[in-house]
Structure 1
């Protein structure tokens, strides 16, 4: 049976025309057309696509860690101490306790992503709520909330995170709390700026005249307009959060041994850096690659959501 390739192309062309229509006939067509244009714009950036590919691979590695890892990441085999890269059975060598570095890096991706995601889950809603409320109500509400935000922004984030982590004690939960306390002000400032752009728009006044409550206006009309900027900011912040997590782990204030946390792995390898450079270098490279991937992805999303960029 012969297949007519021209018929297949004809079925694709109307769909493309439907998505790229300048006069959408329904909200659904407008919605999918907008996202199709954004996807095309994103796909034209090779660096952003490379960042997305790295992060997809990282997510798959984290999900499939039990099947990808070649050894138990916590198993100590003192007879295999400081095996070099490429040694039999240990692709990336072993550390001072004979633990397989490849397996520890694979399982460490889980811990790093979980901590970073938990921080975003906490700081994005808090920052978004404070910024939107401050920008919408203005007056003394704006003054009080923004002065609190300014106080938090006055301290370097890493220094403040170290202070809170040291005060609360080491551990993953305390590290998440410490980083979250220092990360929300940027989102509050961003949400406030976006809210001030739209709070006096005609459709906001129309919603008020129709009897919409303040909560409905904030949730239904203003917050969705802030989300694109917040998503871009969150993607770019992921690199900084990962570096902060690694910094806390390096100083012993994050995940505790024998957890395969990348920052702690770098710290444990500094004492043998001259003789066994791979112990600290391999997790350091993992931190570098993931941070760079988030930055590349964030740059691409910033271009996609920028209304000044044409298709």
Structure 2
């Protein structure tokens, strides 16, 4: 008998338990994902960015808020690896601390929109009738406006800041997830296993949470991963327009906004946070494409 979690145990054609079958399926999905070189590159960059955000206090070579006008707009050197900005602040240190703010905003948005979209979509698809029409018309209202324009309106109604930007992005980003969850729910609402669950006397809430919602989760994971690049760009856009993170916070979009007038002479000052935004967006797109190939059965 193969040892648990060995390769033979995971790839067994005749699993002896549900636990072995579940882990075997996960391992086969990982093997399929690993064959995608671009997806692995995206995963590596995402993990690198997350590590940079978590280890920012140890990776930073200077205080990100410390000003030194004597070295303002200095080019990259051994002392300041990526140069300094218009106030003499070290760009490398601000970049790594900015990863905390930018990626933290993205994670906060995902934690808000994914559960909200899943609950709304599953409830609409499972209940049907008036509930479905009401929830979908509300969804249509939010979908009728461009996301950035609606986010700008929400931030203007609140006040500029990180919290307001997260709330604004979340309020504009949940409708596609509700649509997706509703479509997945409609495909299984009349399935035999759902009918069997109803016959056992399970309530509608338990049926949706325990048996319908898990069916929609893989599609939502793929959509969330693909949309993270959009969240990063929206957060950076709000920061660039002065409605997101406020100076002196080292958020990447804000860093570009405060240094855009130096783009011709001291080009490295706005370019460095721009490259960070580009790499983060590209990495999440590559990761999302790889997850879609693995988790979406229509792609197989």
Matching residue within 216, 219, 236 for 2:209: 219
Matching residue within 83, 88, 108 for 1:98: 88
Q: How far did 1:20 drift?
A: 1.9
Distance 1:26 1:12, change over 3 A: closer
Q: How far did 1:23 drift?
A: 2.9
Q: Distance in 2 between matches of 1:257 and 1:211?
A: 56
Alignment match, 1:149: 139
Q: How far did 1:216 drift?
A: 1.0
Q: Distance in 1 between matches of 2:224 and 2:208?
A: 21
Alignment match, 1:277: 267
Alignment match, 1:200: 190
Q: Distance in 1 between matches of 2:15 and 2:207?
A: 26
Distance 1:88 1:33, change over 3 A: closer
Q: How does 1:174-189 map to 2 (within 5 A)?
A: 174-189=164-179
Give a deviation string over 1:101-124, Cα, whole Å, max 9, x none: 111001000001111111111111
- Tell me whether 1:19 sits opposite 2:2 in the alignment: no
Alignment match, 2:233: 243
Larger radius of gyration: 1
Contact 1:198 1:222 in 2 (8 A): yes
Alignment match, 1:39: 30
Q: Which aligned segments of 4 or more residues in structure 1 are displaced greater than 6 angstroms?
A: 10-14
Q: How many residues align?
A: 300
Alignment match, 1:230: 220
- Tell me whether 1:289 sits opposite 2:273 in the alignment: no
Alignment match, 1:67: 58
SS at 1:207 equivalent:
helix
Q: How far did 1:13 drift?
A: 12
Q: How far did 1:260 drift?
A: 0.2
Give unmatched runs, 5+ long, in structure 1.
1-9
Q: How far did 1:18 drift?
A: 2.5
Give a deviation string over 1:183-212, Cα, whole Å, max 9, x none: 000110000000001001001001111111
Q: Distance in 2 between matches of 1:28 and 1:43?
A: 22
Q: How far did 1:148 drift?
A: 0.5
Contact 1:187 1:230 in 2 (8 A): yes
SS at 2:297 equivalent:
coil
Give a deviation string over 1:129-153, Cα, whole Å, max 9, x none: 1000000010010000001101100
- TM-score (structure 2 length as normaliser): 0.97
Distance 1:309 1:143, change over 3 A: closer
Contact 1:269 1:277 in 2 (8 A): no
- TM-score (structure 1 length as normaliser): 0.94
SS at 1:32 equivalent:
helix
Alignment match, 2:294: 304
Matching residue within 13, 29, 34 for 2:20: 29
Alignment match, 1:109: 99
Q: How far did 1:22 drift?
A: 2.9
Give a deviation string over 1:133-176, Cα, whole Å, max 9, x none: 00001001000000110110010101100111122120111111
SS at 1:25 equivalent:
coil
RMSD over aligned CA atoms reads: 1.6
